[in-house]
A and B are shown apart, each in its own frame.
Chain A
């Protein structure tokens, strides 16, 4: 999986966020666009695209986009 593509997917889940707002270091859950619907669509994207179904609270516990990316990767391996 590619981080650039993943950043775009996070951007898609955060409806209405300005293009280019999201980077590796973004604390995405503190953005004003982050809400339960964003969580739902992001959970779904991660499951569909990477075959990892994140448990409740796991996505929110990641401090940055990069942390989330790494967490998905570690779950893909295990």
Chain B
């Protein structure tokens, strides 16, 4: 898709909710055959540390619902003011109806408020923002709530080293709204469906419904165990894809916006893992102080909620009136399942609210 730009639209607030329960990589010692040295290596190279795990009865909808209520209450805004709900998730409560419809009912939105899901993962926050900006830009909407959330910890097999220690659970709510005087925002999205096999849950959809056969575990050549209902990740392919596509996409975005890298206040990448974020940062030559990187070790990879999670975890003061009164230039860049990627460059006025909190039942 060609790069496109918007004016008079902005992101004004974001809240991320994570489960209370913290799981440490140290607890995964059996998965690594009791090899403490391997755990140390994973901590040091990939950045594994803690991840947030939702209890069985809590879904992405619950996490995002709580984030939404908190955001609306912080802004003293009624759910009736929303013109649209966009819910980005790969782990919806049901195959039908959508999480967005369910949240519409839970929040008590007006019947004129549109509600739809987007089936994307790690790139999804940027896609959700882009659709919200587009709907506001076409004149149909003033305020759109973008939800991003997944419970990927439950999609992985605990005996699959490629994925078991990687993902945390989380959900975020972000408000996009019309704002006279908001500067130019740039978006660029991309997909490569030929790479679809690299991240996949084979069974559970219409193609391969779940059955006794799909629940049967098998062991791959590296000794990892999973069923067809578990998330499969070809880590090497995903890594190669990310380092090939993401730095170039960010350079292209800066070029079209005619902005040097040095004038960027923050580059907020999908927090795939510390190694990946560091690596892409290094390839771009960005000052590490402008590259949020710590939330992966606190939350785990939160899929589409990782960018708002990183914003709230590391930049809550920097992007609100606690520390700044002037607009900040940020790039968000997400990449993952699809394969798909999306980047945007936003001039952000101080946000009205930016925080993360733990889920309360």
Contacts and interface: CB of A to CB of B under 8 A. Distances in A.
A and B are interacting partners: yes
Contact of B236 (A16, A36, A48): A36
B235 A41 contact: no
Contact of B235 (A15, A40, A53): A40
Contact of A15 (B45, B243, B282, B283): B45
Interface string B41-52: 110011000000
Contacts of B42: 37
Nearest to B46: A37
Interface in A24-78: 35-37, 39-41, 43-44, 47-48, 53, 55-56
A39 B46 CA distance: 13
A35 to B, nearest CB: 8
Contacts of B73: none
Interface residues of B, number: 19
A40 B244 contact: no
A44 B239 CA distance: 9
Chain B residues touching A, majority SS: helix
Interface in A1-40: 15-16, 35-37, 39-40
B284 to A, nearest CB: 12
Contact of A43 (B46, B162, B234, B239): B239
Contacts of A41: 45
B235 A36 contact: yes
B243 A53 contact: yes
Among B45, B222, B282, the one with the most A-chain Cβ atoms within 10 Å of its Cβ is B45
A44 B46 contact: no
Interface in B289-328: none
Contacts of A35: 222
Contact of B244 (A39, A53, A56): A53
A32 to B, nearest CB: 11
A46 to B, nearest CB: 11
B162 A36 contact: yes
Interface in B141-175: 161-162
B41 A40 contact: no
Contacts of A44: 239, 243, 279
A11 B295 CA distance: 30
A55 B234 CA distance: 13
Interface string B232-257: 00111101100110000000000000
Given A36-B222, A53-B240, 14 more contacts: A15-B41, A16-B37, A16-B41, A37-B41, A37-B45, A37-B46, A39-B236, A40-B236, A48-B282, A48-B283, A53-B243, A53-B244, A55-B240, A56-B234
Interface of A: 15-16, 35-37, 39-41, 43-44, 47-48, 53, 55-56
24 contacts: A15-B41, A16-B37, A36-B161, A36-B162, A36-B222, A37-B42, A37-B45, A40-B236, A40-B239, A41-B45, A43-B236, A43-B240, A44-B239, A44-B243, A44-B279, A47-B243, A48-B282, A48-B283, A53-B243, A53-B244, A56-B234, A56-B236, A56-B237, A56-B240
